[in-house]
Structure 1
Amino acid sequence: MSADAEHLHHLLLDLVRTAEFALMDRLFPGQALSMSQLFAIHELDHSSGLSQRELAERLGLEKSSVSRLVADLEADGLLTRERDPDNRRVYRLEVTAEGRRLHRDAAQVLHERYERWASAMTAEERKGLAVGIPALLRVMRADRAEG
């Protein structure tokens, strides 16, 4: 492995580990909510009526993982699952009022954190991220599409 690839590897591992704690820490006191669950609520709040398969595709997760995730969110009263009247094999997912409130509150807290983080960086650092992150996402997505 090249030195650049190894450095990127360590940076990404550190980023993923740190992001989980930095983003979810104290976000919902007393409520255990994973990043995947928050991403699911976000997707459903913006695109109601998705099927579990469509949600799995948007989240990049296996159908079985999304099935468990949806069951947990439904049990917590954050979404509902209804059979599609045109295709009884398909469930349509809707965020509840509580799920929308939770999404709105999370977005507010996260945006405040992003503002703090951005203001703690220099203009050059922010510019570097604005170029580097989209470039990394582009090559990661291309690699995934080829894979």
Structure 2
Amino acid sequence: MASLAHELHVLVALMDRRAETLLARSGIGLTYRRYLAVLTVSRLDRPTQRELADALGTSEAATSRMVAGLAADGFLEVGRAHGNRRELALTPEGVTRLRASSEVLGDRFDDAVRAVGADPDHLLHVVTTISTALRKD
């Protein structure tokens, strides 16, 4: 018997693998996980490392290692925020890599959703609503 949770898990795994393959073939130099981190930093506009970890759904330790790698590669600037928090921002090279990666990934998932007769905007609304509810628990 099919389970919604299981099918969503499989879908996300398939999407992640496909994005990883596309980015690897492009030679841009970002894995999909690193792309998501750079994308999230750009969307949150100078988040702290903790805010980035929360947005990515990863531990602070894992996020700290990723931030260190992205900073070492010249994609992120790490500055001091209030207290001992670190504020993150994209470097010009980070912006360039983000744009290039976004072009490679494009609207492939939206196109796949349309191909099965569904509306990507409606699906986005449903998924966002569920994610928001689950974050509150």
TM-score w.r.t. the length of structure 2 is 0.78
Indicate yes or no: 2:96 matched with 1:104.
no
Counterparts in 2 of 1:51 and 1:10: CA distance versus 1, 3 Å? closer
The 2-side partners of 1:132 and 1:57 are apart by 22
For residues 46-102 of structure 1, the C-alpha deviation after alignment (integer angstroms, 9 at most, x for no partner) is 343221112122222221111111011111111111223xx3512111111111011
Measure how far apart 1:22 and its partner are.
Answer: 1.6
Q: Which amino acid aligns with 1:95?
A: L
| Of 23, 30, 33, the match for 1:36 | 33
The 2-side partners of 1:73 and 1:144 are apart by 27
Measure how far apart 1:107 and its partner are.
Answer: 1.5
Q: Unaligned stretches of 5+ in structure 1?
A: none
| Of 90, 94, 108, the match for 2:89 | 94
Counterparts in 2 of 1:137 and 1:75: CA distance versus 1, 3 Å? same
Indicate yes or no: 2:43 matched with 1:46.
yes
More strand by share: 1
User: 1:22 — aligned with what?
Assistant: 18
SS at match of 2:77: strand
Bigger Rg, structure 1 or 2: 1
Counterparts in 2 of 1:47 and 1:9: CA distance versus 1, 3 Å? closer
SS at match of 1:50: coil
> How many matched pairs?
136
The 1-side partners of 2:47 and 2:123 are apart by 32
The 2-side partners of 1:30 and 1:106 are apart by 10
The question of whether the paired residues in 1 share the 8 Å contact of 2:75 and 2:93 is answered with yes
Q: Which amino acid aligns with 2:10?
A: D
Aligned-pair Cα RMSD in Å: 2.6
Counterparts in 2 of 1:64 and 1:116: CA distance versus 1, 3 Å? same
The 1-side partners of 2:127 and 2:113 are apart by 19
| Of 4, 10, 17, the match for 1:8 | 4
Counterparts in 2 of 1:97 and 1:130: CA distance versus 1, 3 Å? closer
Q: Unaligned stretches of 5+ in structure 2?
A: none
